[in-house]
Structure 1
Amino acid sequence: MWGSFFSGGKDPLKELGYEVLSDSQQTSSNPHSIWTILNGKKKATGDLVTIFSCQTDAHINLAKGALKRMKTLRHPNILTYLDGVESDKAVYVVTEKAVTVETYVNELKSNNNNNATTYNAENLLEIAWGLQQLCRVLIFLHDDCKLSHGNINTSTIFVDAKSCDWKLGCLEFVQSINEDQVNLPSRFLPSCQRYEPPAGPSKKGTNSQKARDIWFVGTLIWEIFNGNGATSATSYRQLGSIPRPLSAAYGELINTNPSLRSSFDKLIHSPYIENNSLVECLLFLEQIQLKDPGEKQTFFNSLPDKVDQFPSHINERKLLPLLFNAYEFGSSGSTVLPTLFKLGKRLSDSDYKKRIVPIITKLFASTDRMTRFRLLQQLDIYVEHLTPAVVNDDIFTHICTGFTDQEPAIREATVKAMLYLASKLNYKNLNVELMKHFSRLQTSDDQGVIRTNTIVCLGKIAAHLNPSLRGRLLISAFGRGTQDPFGPSRQASIYALYHSERFFTLKDIATKILPIVCHATIDPELDVRQQAFKTINLFIKKLETVSEKPELAIEMEKDVNSSNVTGITNETSWTSWALTSLSSNIGKLTTKPQQPSVNLTLAKSDSQSTLANTSTSTTTTVKGQF
């Protein structure tokens, strides 16, 4: 298929280490550019690239000039040059993977419910960002390089595949802004005649070539919003579908008097671009290192709500990398987490583990307690992407510092985190280290709500404990809890025994558990007594059944020594926890609160109960539910 391209000698692309993809569609040269654009890849890495090919004799010298410019001009919004080769018969330029703006905006429209004629609100945000980038690179070209592009249209501006940035390409007509146009595009490409300013080439002077580029940006805008139906300069006087906030700036771009055409600065500050939420967001992140802490805090607090308005591909390809950069180099710390986690949901598991998990592990090692607290609060969002190795080797030790933190809210969040992590912990961390922390919290923590929820958590993760230790650990912890001076803790302990009955041997039920529960039948709290009688009935019935049919003993104890058991239903449902006041008052709580007084009301059912209306010195409402 490509024999005509490479006849008479070696394939220059293969010599460079690139090849044209077999599915690349060969087309005639774009009528608005001298190049045929091919899809290719680098053979050594498989990286996709774009290959510009020129083999038209009349265009070879222009193509050689473009190759030279591509090698020397560097700007974030100029196509990244990778390689190139030239001969008397052909020129090849290899760049990063990109498509023309014409192709890109047509794809945007075609993705809108198969309607190929209109843009949606997300598209309009994105186009504004593209135009802002185009203005920036042209200001660089004009003011810093003293060059003009000379042929700006939807076939010579590109959108790169990696970050969806708009970039200049096709530099064959680039020349000094201080000279008259040497090579008019329309001389080589007749279809470009319709882009020429109405008076033809501009008058001599420093600004003549800049004025041409400004006009071309105007025609580019017209085609983006109205298609390629223009036949002459007069066609551009009709606004068509150009957005109203852009209309004033657009009108100045296509002024027939070159000296009256507006600068790109005016276009950048038009309402369409300047008041665009996506543009504001991306510019802030690009300049993050120049922002003060207060600005960063305000920005990142509002960002999670904004990203829903942005195109999903921009969020993933552009915004997410900028957030990584803001964390790594912008001293933004944990403030980036809510948005980072929100966007991370759209990544594949492999990408998440590669791009976001390393940030999580690094943040857990931070000495900033608030950072760890925020990570714990949002654990449910990312825990599925944490491998057991990461949990045990990289973050568990850091998480455990929260069990002894002076802030009750951090201790509370650390306890709750174990509901998500228990299934990933190794033997030592789960059955030894974690149980030490739980025992200490239960016996010495001055917050009754934390002691209570330590019991609740232990009951919910019981299925993950080692069977050889489980019964002893649970009886010890729940028995201790029935002696707690805090009413909800005693009640949670009775609930826990009731719902963990499958993990106890019949002997333990008869000799250890029933004496504990019987003592609770004289508890000062009616609701604790009622639950105690319910629990006693459950265990007595179980013992009676085995007494009448001893052969059922094996079935009754099948889960006691099994590690292949399911946990308690809804074990990670936060509807059973109501400790929000501890979290919301972090940094304000006293570390030595008074012992809470209890006014306990129970909402009871056969399978679950809720503790509510508990008044404490920290105005905390406590709910524990299995």
Structure 2
Amino acid sequence: MNFLAKTLNSTIGTLTGSSIPYDLGQRIVNGVCSDSLEPNSVWNVYEGTSRKEPSTRVTVFEFDLKNPRASRYVLFARNAFKKLRSLSLLPGILNVVDFIENDSFLYIISERVKPLGNVLVMGSFDKMPQCEFLLLGIYQITVALKYLNKEGSSIHGSLCKNSIFVNEAGEWKLGGFELVVNIQERDSQILSQAFDLPSYQSTIHPPELNEQGLDYISRASLTQILKLDAYYLGFFIYSLFNSEVQRPDPPQLNKPNKLPISLASHVKKLLHKSPSVRYSVEEFLNAGMQSCFNLPLISVSKQISELSFKSNAEKLEIFSSLDEFEQFPDGFFEYKVLPELITTFQSLLTNQDNQQSALLLLILKRVDQLDEGTFQHQVKPLVLRAFELPDRAIRITLLSSLPTIINYFQPYEIQDRIFPNLVQGFNDTNSSIREATIKSVLPVADKLSGRQVNNDILKYMAKLQNDPTPEIRANTIICLSKIASYMNPSSRTPVLITAYSKALKDPFVPSRIISLLAFENSIEYFPPEVCCSKVLSAIAPALLDKSSKVRTEARRVFNLYFSKIDEAANQLPLDSEETIHLESQDSENILARLDTLSLSGVKLKNTQSSLLGLGPNASSGSTVSLTMKNLSPSSESLNVGRPLKSLSNADVEENWDAMDDEWHYASDCEDKPVLRHLEVTQNRQESEKLKTALRLDKGDPKTPKGSLKLQPKSKLKLNLDDDDVDGWEGQW
């Protein structure tokens, strides 16, 4: 039982192609062994991948030798299998990587290709002019056919859309070798059954074959037999530009119809009914190089194909010509040009004459034409290595291209591989490097860690605000405003206000304008309280700036912030009527008390007393009362204009003592809410005792109790230093 199971599995595996080291995918061509009612090939063609190298994509041509439907086509399949073995190395021929034959199947493993018919239907020339796309393909097939005729000494015999394939590089490749015969041997058995081929029946054949049959091939001269492929080429070209015409009549082929003017006369000669007048393929190629094939795209394609024979200097000259082209055919740059660019870049040891930086620029300019897998495997390692190179031209190239390639990198690759090398540009002595480094922060900011943004980046930004180059100072503010959303919320507000305020004092006018715009863009990060206490005070000086443009912007931004504050104020709750009434009363009381503090409200009870109780009758026992009230002036009021009498030393001492008592009493009342009046009472007996004590103790004076004391100096120190202008230390 196990034996039967193994046998069955082996048979199924062989039938499905699992016996070969390739996995078969989607079928792209229905062959004679398929269920298709209108097969257009003897082969079933599949997309495939190598099991040994899954990244290697191939196309598998499969022919089932045991299928009853395939019996009449075995001869053609074996002929194609044999001829491709010997001719696939010629330029323009389908590139075959493997041939596999067993008892049941024939396999031809080629590079990944698509049938030309599928490519034309898909519109692969949408990115470039259709005429250029078709002319490039015609040139490539003409070259392949020329090599097959001359160097391969063979004729194709069935050139048509079904025998042409397009590889991943956008190159047209010649396949369909079922009728290929050597012009010396002229295998009559193959040629006699030519009409059995599906593609051969749908093709317009040369007049000589229609008139004399396939026997003409065995009788024709070498020159005449090669003209057969020229006729097939002419009809193929005609059908490309006139696809709506399925089987045109021979007279109709002589009309140019939709053919380009530069090509029409040559196609007419390819389709001439007389073989002696008709172009050969080689003659058509030589004539076309002076006219229809004289195109920059064809020239570059030809030079790229010959790069292996060029020196580095010649390669660089060819690569530089690529800048003339905005678009290439699909895959041309990715599979044809890119490998050569990378190989040449890696072969150069230094960036002498900016050769490496020029190659790197060519690669990075066209990353949008690359498949993501191609970038990951080929371009990314090159970029990471280039960031480690100290050359400034390479660094500028990388920084300027960063916005277009950054999305191909993972955050950990940016944080660990790119960022440590990128920030070195902040300290570069070249201002262009510093400016490019600032701009490169924007595309990477969202992929950096919090520490890299809030510590490393802000540290360099603070330093760059003092940069001698004014454009760098302006760009620093732009960068800060754009990465503000990635900053730590706890430190963002003080950092931005400090940086923007400093920029408003910059002598470079664009820096001041940019700072105001930054204030506008960052308004969401500042709460109303901060807008009142910090932002308005920073913007206000700009209202009187020397530049009228700065003043205009400052007025607009100031009003913007003021509107935000006003809106926040309108949302605050209103006081109750009782609260408003009490506050109004307190205000009136305070104003009334302040109004009494004037000399016009001072009244002396003793008319003989002088100002503050200092008079000639100091020794009398009268009591002086100084009361501050709102009294109308009277004869007893203080006459300010009256001259003061001369005072003796004793009087001064006695009265400084009295003033000392009064200040002490006033200091005791400072904490009381209401100061009603101040009365100074001094009796004669106490005054005499103090006077006597002062006279007795002149030698060793002692400060009597309640006398005037000198207060210590104030410890209040005002720090009038300006804000930190050298950085933002302590702001985060």
TM (norm. structure 2) is 0.60
Supply the AA of the counterpart residue of 1:65. Answer: N
CA deviations over 1:244-284 (Å, ceiling 9, x no partner): 32233334434523586334254255166423344234334
Supply the AA of the counterpart residue of 1:122. Answer: P
Greater Cα offset, 131-140 or 381-390: 381-390
Whole-angstrom distance in 2 between the partners of 1:225 and 1:495:
57
CA deviations over 1:446-489 (Å, ceiling 9, x no partner): 22222122123212322211123323322332343344333443
SS in 1 for 2:506: coil
Per-residue deviation at 1:519?
A: 5.7
**Residue 267 (structure 2) aligns with:** 250
Q: Does the CA-based 8 Å contact 1:32-1:155 persist in structure 2?
A: no
Greater Cα offset, 280-289 or 343-352: 343-352
Whole-angstrom distance in 1 between the partners of 2:50 and 2:397:
45
Matched, 1:472 2:494: yes
Per-residue deviation at 1:85?
A: 4.8
**Residue 125 (structure 1) aligns with:** 132
**Residue 283 (structure 1) aligns with:** 302
**Residue 233 (structure 2) aligns with:** 217
SS in 2 for 1:70: helix
* Identity %, equivalent residues: 22
Per-residue deviation at 1:186?
A: 4.8
Per-residue deviation at 1:328?
A: 0.8
**Residue 411 (structure 2) aligns with:** 388
Whole-angstrom distance in 2 between the partners of 1:107 and 1:502:
50
Closer/same/farther in 2, CA of residues 48 and 29 from structure 1, 3 Å limit: farther
Q: Does the CA-based 8 Å contact 2:146-2:281 persist in structure 1?
A: no
Q: CA RMSD in A?
A: 4.6
Closer/same/farther in 2, CA of residues 329 and 18 from structure 1, 3 Å limit: closer
Whole-angstrom distance in 1 between the partners of 2:88 and 2:79:
16
Closer/same/farther in 2, CA of residues 40 and 523 from structure 1, 3 Å limit: closer
Alignment of structure 1 residues 365-376 onto 2, 5 Å: 365-376=388-399
Whole-angstrom distance in 2 between the partners of 1:237 and 1:538:
76
CA deviations over 1:495-549 (Å, ceiling 9, x no partner): 5445535435677666665665566566555655666677667767777887897
Q: Does the CA-based 8 Å contact 2:24-2:48 persist in structure 1?
A: yes
Q: Does the CA-based 8 Å contact 2:269-2:278 persist in structure 1?
A: yes
SS in 2 for 1:419: helix
Closer/same/farther in 2, CA of residues 337 and 20 from structure 1, 3 Å limit: closer
**Residue 423 (structure 2) aligns with:** 400
Per-residue deviation at 1:348?
A: 7.1
SS in 2 for 1:49: strand
Supply the AA of the counterpart residue of 1:436. Answer: K
Alignment of structure 1 residues 401-420 onto 2, 5 Å: 401-420=424-443
Matched, 1:49 2:59: yes
Q: Which sections of structure 1, spanning at least 5 residues, go unmatched? A: 1-5, 113-119, 553-626
Whole-angstrom distance in 2 between the partners of 1:348 and 1:21:
20
SS in 2 for 1:77: coil
Q: Does the CA-based 8 Å contact 1:273-1:279 persist in structure 2?
A: no
Q: Does the CA-based 8 Å contact 1:197-1:215 persist in structure 2?
A: no
Per-residue deviation at 1:67?
A: 1.7
Alignment of structure 1 residues 139-538 onto 2, 5 Å: 139-144=146-151, 146-154=152-160, 157-160=163-166, 162-183=168-189, 185-189=191-195, 191=200, 195-196=205-206, 198=208, 200-201=216-217, 207=223, 209-226=225-242, 229-230=246-247, 237=254, 239-255=256-272, 256-257=274-275, 261-264=279-282, 266-267=284-285, 269-270=287-288, 273-287=292-306, 290=310, 292=314, 295-296=317-318, 299-304=321-326, 307=327, 314-315=329-330, 317-331=331-345, 333=356, 335=358, 344-345=367-368, 357-358=380-381, 360-443=383-466, 445-497=467-519, 499-504=521-526, 516-517=538-539, 524-525=546-547, 528=550
**Residue 78 (structure 2) aligns with:** 64
Q: Does the CA-based 8 Å contact 2:509-2:547 persist in structure 1?
A: yes
CA deviations over 1:415-446 (Å, ceiling 9, x no partner): 23323332222223222222222222211x22
Q: Does the CA-based 8 Å contact 1:202-1:258 persist in structure 2?
A: no
Whole-angstrom distance in 2 between the partners of 1:298 and 1:49:
33
Per-residue deviation at 1:151?
A: 1.9
CA deviations over 1:355-386 (Å, ceiling 9, x no partner): 65555545544544344334444544444444
Q: Does the CA-based 8 Å contact 2:27-2:44 persist in structure 1?
A: no
Number of corresponding residues: 528
Higher RCO, 1 or 2 (CA under 8 Å, sep at least 6)?
1
Q: Does the CA-based 8 Å contact 2:58-2:109 persist in structure 1?
A: no
Closer/same/farther in 2, CA of residues 32 and 177 from structure 1, 3 Å limit: farther
Whole-angstrom distance in 1 between the partners of 2:269 and 2:103:
43
Matched, 1:80 2:90: no
Closer/same/farther in 2, CA of residues 93 and 347 from structure 1, 3 Å limit: closer
2:145 to 138, 148, 159: 138
Whole-angstrom distance in 1 between the partners of 2:191 and 2:117:
18
Whole-angstrom distance in 1 between the partners of 2:517 and 2:26:
65
Supply the AA of the counterpart residue of 1:11. Answer: L
Closer/same/farther in 2, CA of residues 523 and 140 from structure 1, 3 Å limit: same
Q: Does the CA-based 8 Å contact 1:268-1:274 persist in structure 2?
A: no
**Residue 17 (structure 2) aligns with:** 13
Per-residue deviation at 1:91?
A: 4.0
